[in-house]
Amino acid sequence: MFNFIKKITSEKPETPKQQAERDSAVDKVLLGYEVGTVSIATMITGLERSGNQLTLDLRLPQDSDPETIQQELGQLLHPHGIQTIHMNVRLSAPVKGDGTSLPKQMPKTTDAMAKQDKSSVQSHTDSEPPITKAAPTQASLAAHPRIRHIIVVASGKGGVGKSTTTVNIALALKELGNRVGVLDADIYGPSMPTMLGVADVKPQLENEQFVPVDAHGLAMLSIGSLLDSDNTPVAWRGPKATGALMQLYNQTNWPQLDYLVIDMPPGTGDIQLTLAQRIPVTGAVIVTTPQHIALLDAQKGVEMFNKTSIPVLGVVENMALHTCSNCHHTEAIFGIGGGELIAEQYHVPLLGQLPLASGIRAQVDKGEPSVLANDEFASYYLNIAKNIEANISKFAKPVDDKRIF
Ligand SMILES: Nc1ncnc2c1ncn2[C@@H]1O[C@H](COP(=O)(O)OP(=O)(O)OP(=O)(O)O)[C@@H](O)[C@H]1O
């Protein structure tokens, strides 16, 4: 482990407001800075900003030159108020054999990334889709060797029921006879393990790869499984979050899957954009609610996916209808047509409208979502899954069947 401390220039006054603005600018610089052909964001295992000082824990490829990196980052970050950079650098060990000295237990998040010295980009080229150079486009990303379709489920804002919808769609796709995996990438509120009733099950490591948890037949991996209760990801900033999520995607031994459904963090910021640019996605599903503000945010989601050339498979309007728990009468209490409006405006299909029903909430709360319980709401999700299936093949990327693992 090397420890580099470099003073760039002398002090400059900084207000809290400036600091907040600079945090975002610093994130952008880190996301854009590449070591070899890979963003340094994917190599950050720890990041702390204190005033004009930035501390980065980095796991760099063995042949990289930390001093040059520090110098270049210093120049790029100096205009954004960073005067001192501390870099704690681990260089990846050279690849030897098949990597037999493995941790028996799943390490905690920070350790998981820091200790896996052999898990560099170099040592995993056999299973990782390549991360391409700056401004990667979907067309330049190789399809995942074992996954036919990757679907991201996104929402413009939090709390619209994205995770509830994701878990039920995943179960519905499985119900239709598919092999399905779920990646819970919602760093702000990872909820898949609880919703699937496997919150106590920790994923294992095998040959330096995460092994997804079997959750009612779904291959599930959640960023939440890698966290301690005191190590909440809420405070994670862009590059660290992006790095951790890319690691989950790249370093997981996904079985052969027809669908990997990714529960994205809500919003349309840097993290979402970076993931959308680095993971070979077949299509996106956008979850919204009928309220005006949620619809506006959903529009931003559609625009983000359009920019990154990810086809939008459609919009799901959640909590669109209310089903009375006494008489089971269903009506659109928030008004009608929100999801339809977006669908029309952006030429994307409306995949379905879901009721606001306490039963839907109660089922995910007890770890047995509606589709699993086969309750009265299951058919709504099955219809959405059928609509996804009906559309998806025209967006599929070719799978390289000749690849050997
Ligand atoms: N159709 C629905 N009817 C009733 N309750 C619902 C419905 N959909 C979701 N909920 C409830 O709304 C709450 C928020 O849902 P969920 O966690 O799925 O939203 P989210 O968009 O993923 O939130 P976050 O952005 O915080 O991750 C949960 O308590 C969930 O049970």
102-129 tens-digit pLDDT: 222 322 222 222 333 322 222 233 333 3
Do the domains 138-395 and 2-91 match in fold?
no
Nearest residue CA, atom 2 of ligand 1? 356
The whole-number average pLDDT for the span 206-225 is 90
Question: What pLDDT is stored for residue 258 in this prediction?
Answer: 96
Please state the pTM of the whole predicted model.
0.68
Q: How confident is the prediction for the chain on average, in pLDDT?
A: 76
Residue 141, token pair as written in the block: 């990303």
Most confident by average pLDDT, 53-57, 166-170, 261-265: 166-170
Mean pLDDT of 358-366: 94
**Span 147-161, pLDDT tens digits:** 999 999 998 878 889
Cβ distance 381 to 168 under 8 Å?
yes
- pLDDT at position 147 is 94
Class (C level, CATH) for 2-91: alpha beta
- Average pLDDT in the 338-357 region? 82
Between the CA of 159 and the centroid of ligand 1 the distance, in Å, is 6
In the three-class reduction of DSSP (H, G, I as helix; E, B as strand; rest coil), residue 53 is classed as: strand
Q: Please give the annotated binding residues, written as ranges.
A: 156-163
Q: What is the pLDDT of residue 106?
A: 28
Quick check: 25 pLDDT over 90?
Answer: no
Task: Report the nearest-CA residue for atom 25 of ligand 1.
Answer: 158
ipTM above 0.90, yes or no: yes
Determine whether the shortest distance from the Cβ of 368 to ligand 1 is under 6 A.
Answer: no
Report d(CA 204, CA 207) in Å as an integer. 10
For atom 27 of ligand 1, the residue with the nearest CA is 189
Assess contact for 151 and 395: CB atoms under 8 A: no
How would residue 365 be classed by pLDDT, with cut points 50, 70 and 90? very high
364 lines ligand 1 (CB under 6 A): yes
pLDDT, position 332: 66
Residue of 152, 155, 163 best suited for mutating to test ligand 1, as the one with most atoms within 8 Å of CB: 163
User: Which of 152, 157, 160, 164 most suits a substitution to test ligand 1, by most atoms within 8 Å of the C-beta?
Assistant: 164
Q: CATH code for 138-395?
A: 3.40.50.300
Q: Is the pLDDT of residue 132 over 50?
A: no
Range name among 263-277, 292-306, 347-361, 382-396 with the lowest pLDDT average: 292-306
Considering only CA atoms, which residue is closest to atom 3 of ligand 1? 356
Is 313 in contact with 285 (CB distance < 8 Å)?
A: yes
Residue 163 Cβ contacting ligand 1 at under 6 Å: yes
Residue spans per domain, the chain: 2-91, 138-395
Q: By the 8 A CB rule, do 196 and 367 touch?
A: yes
Q: In this predicted structure, what is the pLDDT of residue 19?
A: 62
Does ligand 1 come within 6 angstroms of the Cβ of 255?
Answer: no
CA of 317 to the centre of ligand 1 (A): 12
Question: In the 8-state DSSP scheme, what is residue 123?
Answer: G
